[in-house]
Amino acid sequence: MSEENWHEIPRSEILWYPTIDYEKCTSCGKCVNYCTLGTYELQEDEGKKKTVVSNPDNCVVLCSGCDSICPAGAIKHPSKKQTQELIRELRKTYPLQRE
Ligand code: SF4
Ligand code: SF4
């Protein structure tokens, strides 16, 4: 289950999640088993197995652990640097609440 906010920033505004290159993916299911947060799901499409990113916001912000476990090199995440810049920008709109 995804968190609604990430350190006060709406999780949906942080564009951090894996994408699958279907030219390379063999639907082996390794990523589905690897990510325990349910980001991926193995679905049936016209009798064929297909791995999909069914819950993108479940992906832990700035985690890219599954990129390297894909035997086909089919998984990619966005640039960490650009995402950190995006977070810095979003922080201006959503400052951390301190007590
Ligand atoms: S590990 Fe790679 S090849 Fe296997 S299902 Fe996931 S994306 Fe596809
Ligand atoms: S990067 Fe980490 S949290 Fe995100 S889908 Fe891969 S294993 Fe799951």
Q: Residue 99: exposed, middle, or buried by beta-carbon count in 10 A (0-12, 13-18, 19+)?
A: exposed
Residue 10 lies in a domain: no
The distance between the two most distant Cα atoms of the chain, rounded to a whole number of Å, is 54
The rounded distance, in Å, linking the Cα atoms of 23 and 42 is 17
Query: Domain span at residue 48?
Result: 16-78
Of 53, 73, 64, 56, the closest CA to residue 17 belongs to: 56
- How many domains is the chain built from? 1
Ligand 1 pocket member 42 (CB < 6 A): no
Q: Which residues contact ligand 2 via a Cβ below 6 A?
A: 18, 34-35, 37, 39, 59-60, 63-66
Residue 1 lies in a domain: no
**What pLDDT score does 99 carry?**
57
Ligand 1 pocket member 52 (CB < 6 A): no
**What pLDDT score does 62 carry?**
97
Residue 51 lies in a domain: yes
| CATH number of the domain where residue 62 is located | 3.30.70.20
- pLDDT, averaged in runs of 10, over the chain (99 residues): 84 97 97 97 92 97 97 98 97 86
**What pLDDT score does 45 carry?**
81
